[in-house]
Amino acid sequence: MLGRLLSLILGLAVVAFVAYWAINHAAGTVQADPEGRSQPKAVLDRTREVKQRIEQDAERRMRETERKMDER
């Protein structure tokens, strides 16, 4: 009985370590920014770039839809 309990505890510890490692290392959260920015600034800059691309795409789609509606 004690052997099973010990095996269960060790198994849970291994699973917890693997999950911790996957979240903090494999997900790319520890990567260095090539431009030398701090990590929070780099995340914010990437978020702003993505937001700008999304807005440009939405504006382009809106113009295309208006053009198609005018052709009818």
DSSP per residue, 1-52:
-HHHHHHHHHHHHHHHHHHHHIIIIITSTTPPPTT---HHHHHHHHHHHHHH
pLDDT digit string, tens, across residues 35-65:
666 778 888 889 999 999 999 999 999 999 9
40, 70: one domain:
yes
7, 24: one domain:
yes
Q: At CA 43, angle to CA 34 and CA 20, rounded to 5?
A: 95
Domain coverage including residue 8: 1-31
Give the separation between CA 53 and CA 70, rounded to whole angstroms.
26
pLDDT digit string, tens, across residues 4-35:
999 999 999 999 999 888 887 765 555 565 66
Residue with tokens 């494999």: 26
Q: How many structural domains are present in the chain?
A: 2
